[in-house]
Amino acid sequence: MSDTLSAARIDVAQARALTPGCAHVLHFNNAGAALMPQPVLDATIGQLQREAVMGGYEAAAHMAGATEAVYDSVARLINAHRDEIALFEGSSQAWHKAFHAVPLAKGDRVLTASTEYSTNWLSLLRIRERTGCTIEMVPDRPSGEVDVDALAAMLDERVKLVMITHVATSNGMVNPVEEVGRAVRGSGALYLVDACQSVGQLPIDVARIGCDLLAAAGRKYLRGPRGTGFLFVRKDRLAQLEPPVIDIHAAQWTGRDTYAWRPDARRFETLEHSVATRLGLGAAVDHALGWGLEAIAERIAGLSAGLRERLEAIGGVRVHDRGRQRSGIVTFTVAGRSADELMADLRRHGINTTVSRIEAARLDMEPRGLERMVRASVHYYNTEEEVERFAEAIAARA
Ligand SMILES: Cc1ncc(COP(=O)(O)O)c(C=O)c1O
């Protein structure tokens, strides 16, 4: 089968040649962790090798310029300023630092939606116990996205935080984060976006979104190493936020009883980190920017639409994705087959997927009566031939 989508703006053959994993697996678990391209491997492994021969601190000093450039790359990726970027070891770590910095008190209202990531929801439950704030769900539109008109009608001066997950982890949907931003703007509430599944697969522009805080992972659609992530903190909101922890990186110890926070978003970081994986993250961002996020998004949309269409044509298969705009994440069940067994069987045959579980997506899956779904997530380096092969593998097991 010819790869008609590859005639678009991405040289798929080159993308695959730069991705060693393509020779080994049919990887449809990009929403778990994508296959790293060679420049990411080189940047990460290169630093580990320098650490081995130079010493960890000496190798860090040697690469200080390149490490600083990672902040520029991330800022460019999301149209922010480098002072608004902090680097972390994962998306949740970044998100927690932002969330727990928001001052909340009894009677304050927090608005969120059914697609909010599980960990974020658990954090909300904890903060409600501790502060007495209220959690309110903005209703979904019939198509699944957050209903922005309903959200606008819920806003008042007691709403201190609006939390939205951009791309849902368990149903393929893309939330209208820019529309939400327009509604929230001027309301006084802080706007926190979980972009864990969207960064690297969709163009992200924090100015257009109008968010104050945005957290994302490096290992997923950005194709960075595991254990990487970042946070965007809008500069003019810094003074309103209190980082939940402090150390000698986040602040300067100015006298025995005094300190001064760093003036930039790095006040949310702490000192120790992996330089190797940070350099890998920078290489991943540069790699994505090299292809162009518009081109990446276009190809992922084409491949995932084709995958949904092929799966829906198989008897016994049900695709469970929602939303008018959909992402590279495709969720489905096969009648009479356990999702876990299906995933394991596919993996034995060199096909990577994962399982979306109710325990990790209760707000979304419980109302739909879903317990387990297979999640197949495509990236621009996947091919139409792989989509075809995947559909045949499912058909053979349906
Ligand atoms: C929407 C969303 N947010 C946050 C996370 C957590 O990211 P991390 O594991 O990097 O902390 C995930 C992980 O799958 C996710 O899908």
* Percent of the chain with pLDDT strictly greater than 90: 97
Q: Do 269 and 306 sit in the same domain of this protein?
A: no
The pLDDT value recorded for residue 1 is: 42
Q: pLDDT for 249-280, tens place per residue?
A: 999 999 999 999 999 999 999 999 999 999 99
Would you say the C-alpha torsion 244, 247, 251, 255 has a positive or negative sign?
positive
Q: Which atom of ligand 1 is nearest to the CA of 93?
A: 11
Would you say the C-alpha torsion 244, 245, 251, 254 has a positive or negative sign?
positive
Q: Do 112 and 129 sit in the same domain of this protein?
A: yes
Residue 340 CA from chain centroid, whole number: 23
Residue pair 104/132 in contact (Cβ under 8 Å)? The answer is no
Q: pLDDT for 97-142, tens place per residue?
A: 999 999 999 999 999 999 999 999 999 999 999 999 999 999 999 9
Q: Do 148 and 259 sit in the same domain of this protein?
A: yes
- CATH number for position 224: 3.40.640.10
Q: Do 328 and 275 sit in the same domain of this protein?
A: no
pLDDT greater than 80 at residue 306:
yes
Q: Do 233 and 135 sit in the same domain of this protein?
A: yes
For 81, phi then psi, to 5°, come to -100, 150
Q: Do 171 and 131 sit in the same domain of this protein?
A: yes
Q: Which atom of ligand 1 is nearest to the CA of 94?
A: 11
Q: Which two tokens stand for residue 301?
A: 């949309």
Residues touching ligand 1 (Cβ under 6 Å) are 90-92, 117, 165, 169, 194, 196-197, 217, 229
Residues forming beta bridges with residue 374, ordered by sequence position: 332, 355
The pLDDT value recorded for residue 7 is: 46
pLDDT greater than 70 at residue 88:
yes
Q: Do 316 and 194 sit in the same domain of this protein?
A: no
pLDDT class of 4 with cuts at 50, 70, 90: low
Closest C-alpha to ligand 1, atom 7: 91
Q: Do 223 and 355 sit in the same domain of this protein?
A: no
For 199, phi then psi, to 5°, come to -65, 130
Which of the 8 DSSP states describes residue 165? E
* Percent of the chain with pLDDT strictly greater than 70: 98
CA of 89 to the centre of ligand 1 (A): 12
Testing ligand 1's pocket by substitution, the residue of 99, 119, 231 carrying the most ligand atoms inside 8 A of its CB is 119
Q: Which two tokens stand for residue 322?
A: 């929602």
Q: Which two tokens stand for residue 83?
A: 């002072």
CA of 55 to the centre of ligand 1 (A): 33
Q: Do 214 and 308 sit in the same domain of this protein?
A: no
Instruction: Say what the pTM is.
Output: 0.97
Q: Do 161 and 214 sit in the same domain of this protein?
A: yes
Residue 367, judged by CB atoms within 10 A of its CB (0-12, 13-18, 19+), counts as exposed
The pLDDT value recorded for residue 172 is: 86
The rounded distance, in Å, linking the Cα atoms of 263 and 36 is: 34
- CATH number for position 361: 3.90.1150.10
Q: Which two tokens stand for residue 205?
A: 């522009």
Last residue of a domain, one of 235, 264, 290: 290
Q: Do 111 and 176 sit in the same domain of this protein?
A: yes
HSE (CB half, 13 Å, CA atoms) of 30? 30
Q: Which atom of ligand 1 is nearest to the CA of 90?
A: 10
- Domain extent, residue 315, equals 4-36+292-397
The distance in angstroms from the start CA to the end CA of the chain is 22
Last residue of a domain, one of 260, 290, 320: 290
Placement of tokens 């163009």 in the chain: 203
Residue-averaged pLDDT of the chain: 97
Last residue of a domain, one of 261, 290, 319: 290
Domain tally for the chain?
A: 2
Q: pLDDT for 195-252, tens place per residue?
A: 999 999 999 999 999 999 999 999 999 999 999 999 999 999 999 999 999 999 999 9
Residue pair 393/31 in contact (Cβ under 8 Å)? The answer is no
pLDDT greater than 80 at residue 167:
yes
The pLDDT value recorded for residue 8 is: 59
> Which of these, 306, 363, 324, 361, lies nearest to 339 by C-alpha position?
361
Question: What's the mean pLDDT in 286-311?
Answer: 98
CA of 86 to the centre of ligand 1 (A): 17
Which of the two residues, 184 and 6, has the higher pLDDT score?
A: 184
Question: What's the mean pLDDT in 330-346?
Answer: 98
In this structure, the number of other CB atoms found within 10 A of the CB of residue 338 comes to: 15
Question: What's the mean pLDDT in 18-26?
Answer: 98
Q: Do 333 and 249 sit in the same domain of this protein?
A: no
